[in-house]
């Protein structure tokens, strides 16, 4: 067996400093799930198409399957586990609950984080703008309609 290159990565995840040795070829999604047990970040297509693994890197949504864990060195990452405030759901989470914005829940973490960053930049979006904003996140259950309603409800 050849020696797999490993590096130590230091990254702040949901406000907590983490320091772990990691294989250089491991992507951030797998690092979050396998090394930090943060399994709320879902892994779908693994080539940047589905959006399920979207996390916030220094506040901006990115595909965690298209980022090596070692590239997150020194950065701040927010996953779905970091969205709620202790026991209280984030307003977007509450709206998804109220408006039936999820069914199986696989795409939900990625969509919530995408929507959070989107509303921070554009707090009063039109429905069309919301649809464009989540166009990079695939949902195979809802038909998107209730997702758009939930995001609109928070924007109002």
- Chain residues in the site for other proteins (CB under 8 A): 2, 4-5, 7, 24-27, 30, 46-48, 51, 54, 57, 60-63, 65-68, 70-71, 114, 117-118, 132-133, 135-136
Measured from the CB atom, the residue of 51 and 101 that comes closer to other proteins is 51
Measured from the CB atom, the residue of 94 and 117 that comes closer to other proteins is 117
Measured from the CB atom, the residue of 117 and 141 that comes closer to other proteins is 117
Q: How far is the CB of 59 from other proteins (least distance, A)?
A: 10
HEC states along the chain?
CCCCCEEEEEEEECCEEEEEEEECCCEHHHHHHHHCCCCCCCCCCCCCCCCCCEEEECCEEEEHHHCEHHHHCCCEEECHHHCCECCECCHHHHHHHHCCCCCCCCCHHHHHHHHHHHHHHCCCCCHHHHHHHCCCCCCCCCCCHHHHHHHHHHHC
Q: How far is the CB of 90 from other proteins (least distance, A)?
A: 19
Measured from the CB atom, the residue of 35 and 94 that comes closer to other proteins is 35
Q: How far is the CB of 89 from other proteins (least distance, A)?
A: 23
């Amino acid at each position: 067996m050849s020696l797999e290159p490993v590096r130590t990565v230091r990254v702040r995840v949901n406000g907590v400093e983490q320091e772990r040795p990691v294989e250089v070829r491991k992507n951030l999604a797998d690092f979050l799930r396998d090394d930090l047990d943060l399994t709320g970040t879902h892994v779908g297509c693994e080539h940047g198409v589905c959006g399920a693994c979207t996390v916030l890197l220094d506040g901006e949504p990115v595909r965690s399957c298209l980022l090596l864990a070692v590239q997150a060195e020194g950065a701040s990452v927010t996953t779905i586990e970091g969205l709620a405030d202790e026991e209280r759901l984030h307003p977007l989470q509450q709206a998804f609950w109220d408006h039936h914005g999820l069914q199986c829940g696989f795409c939900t973490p990625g969509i919530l984080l995408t929507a959070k960053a989107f509303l921070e930049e554009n707090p009063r979006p039109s429905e069309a703008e919301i649809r464009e904003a989540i166009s990079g996140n695939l949902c195979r259950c809802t038909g998107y309609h209730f997702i758009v309603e939930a995001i609109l409800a928070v924007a109002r």
